[in-house]
């Protein structure tokens, strides 16, 4: 009779399970009517340079993009659609 319990592959060395933690690319902090989108990874910095260049239309405080409250959800949706992860809050 065959066992219904799968057998471990004896040819593979015993290795502990590896867990991959998702590192967020951005963190957002809310300050009333203005929020700051903080890039946490090189990918996030590249995304900001491409989509929100430092010019008269985009304002930065340090390396964080300053966003009016009404535009936050749209920018977060666009970044998420490009595969970037957002931290819950800082």
Domain definitions of the chain by residue range: 26-81
- Residues 10-52 pLDDT 10s: 444 455 554 446 889 999 999 999 999 999 999 999 999 999 9
Q: Are 84 and 26 spatial neighbours (Cβ–Cβ below 8 Å)? A: yes
- Please give the DSSP secondary-structure letter assigned to residue 42: H
SS3 81: helix
Q: What is the structure's pLDDT at 14?
A: 54
CB 36 within 8 A of CB 28: yes
């Amino acid at each position: 009779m065959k066992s219904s319990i799968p057998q471990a592959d004896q040819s593979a060395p015993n290795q502990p399970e590896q867990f991959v933690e998702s590192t967020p690319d951005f963190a957002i902090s809310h300050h009333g009517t203005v929020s700051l989108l903080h890039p946490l990874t090189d990918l996030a910095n590249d995304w900001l340079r491409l989509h929100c260049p430092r010019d008269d239309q985009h304002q930065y405080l340090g390396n964080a993009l300053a966003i009016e409250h009404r535009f936050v959800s749209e920018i977060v949706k666009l970044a998420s659609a490009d595969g970037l992860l957002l931290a819950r809050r800082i």
